[in-house]
Structure 1
Amino acid sequence: MYDYQKAFIGVYEYFEKNKSSDFLVAIPIIEDSLEGIKTRVLKIKTDGAEIISHEGLNTDLSSPQLAFRNVIDIFSQKNLQGYGAIPIFGLDPSMYNKYIQFKCTVQMLKVGDLVGNLNSPDIENPLVWYKAIDTYAREKGFSGGIPVLINEGDITIYLFSPDQAEPDIFNNYEINHYTNISYKVSIDQQKLLMQAHELILSKSSSCNSHPEILLAVKGVYGQTQFTYHDINDKCPCGTENVLGCARLGGHDIWINFQDHDTIEMLAETVIHEQMHIYGYDHPDQPENEDLSDPFYSSIPALAEICIRGTSGLGTYIR
């Protein structure tokens, strides 16, 4: 996975779990982030759009220019007028052999026709032109636009009318966690953790009485890079009666997968440990469930309750 692919992957995966039948896919306008916490996207409408598999396509390339060109070289053989195509990236490695084709207006511009500061010497990289192209498209009455190929001062772009694509804004904490988290666990355990993430994101927004929890969740998912480990992988907290472990302000979370019976229980442990990563601590958990104990008013413990909806935390150590 290369850095330029991460925005595509995050937007694709988040959209797949939240899309309506009117749209096929979403792509990022990745140079147009808002205040560092939001990403502008284009949602491609279903009519006329299709994800195409092509064995041997291979868009897993370090250069976005080469990845885009691979798709164009294959797509151009169809000679479809009024259509365009770009790579589509997702967590599934098979996506490197897929691309999306869609209805659009294909146009060629000179570099001098564009406005905006690129702040990059790599003018052959289409991604550095996203903001300028999207601005140009909207000024011309389109919903948005994307650059495709740059060649000797000429830029081939795709422009989308309102009946072909619709702009939207995604929160970075909703999309970044697909690519800024590492997993030193099995594939099945990784899938469980990603389900737990979805539950945390859906429930943490309702923790109105403790805004610190949502702020921490946004910080962890939007900006923090950390790694999951199995509890038996040199866990600093030991393994006896331990559901999870994380060092304060650290970048690693250990999970005891064997003792989690439900996704909700796993989400409670994960958000508890995420609060430690963000910097929140708690006193030792009491042996009895005395809810007046300061442990139960700590942010990590309250974050668990945010997921569960009731107090009382059991006897395991987190």
Structure 2
Amino acid sequence: MEKAAIRVGWIGTGVMGKSMVGHLLTNGYQMSVYTRTKAKAEDLLARGAQWQDIKEIAQQSDYLFLMLGYPHDVEDVVFNKDTGVLHHMKEGSVLIDHTTSSPGQAMRIHEEALKRGVGFLDAPVSGGDIGARNGKLVTMVGGDAESLGKSMSLLQCYSAEVQHMGKAGAGQQTKACNQILIANTMVGVCEALVYGHKAGLDLNQMINLLQKGAAGSFSLEKLAPRMLRRDFEPGFYVEHFIKDLGIALDEARRMKLGLPGLALASQLYQALSAQGFERKGTQALLLALEQMNGTEVKKYDI
């Protein structure tokens, strides 16, 4: 099918979703969008996207994408008795959920979609606002291979890598592993900055050097400079990260796993939220470490 004939719907144009829709528009797809605050989609509408309500998008879309905040948002958008998208999607269409949610929810949506002849992929992404803007997200997919094959050209518009991780729920399980890695790494980056500050090091020089060695990471390369600029605006919200870590902890308990690093990171982010920083970016964890140690890392003009 020609791109111009494919109807693509997108629900949720937040920090990352807006850029992802932008890449689809750039690639020639006809887009219909919905977000709770219409003003947040004005840039996309100016570029040719059409504004529709959830029911209309579901009825018309060949591919319908979700990029929402919480599992309860997904629950409502998918299963609401009046507007739930699964009640209105046409047979042969594909529902793709980019929300970081629970594996159990993904499996339930897959089962219900199957009954209606609708394909479903749980496809959380990693890369934050930077990856979304640059079209370099990593997309981890659970669901059937046929639905992924049909959807691959769309996913590749904003992904550097798309991999099929297994049956429904496997994408969400992979994202939990991703968040565990990020959480533990972020604690290490913040501790290193506080330590280096107290030791009198030039922190900009330090991170530029260490990112070239075994300690290198996305957090050190991309987020540590934001911390040094005292830029704590969100590429990914603290409150959403707390939700993600909670999902990982719930799954770990279900599998009878003890993950102390994950538990510690979750507690530190909970403390950060309690201080009023839940709408800041995940790099704001530095503020919690500073408060614990009665210090403030020097601001750098970089």
Same fold (TM over 0.5): no
Larger relative helix fraction: 2
TM-score (norm 2): 0.24
TM-score (norm 1): 0.23
State which structure, 1 or 2, has the greater radius of gyration over its C-alpha atoms. Answer: 1
Larger relative strand fraction: 1
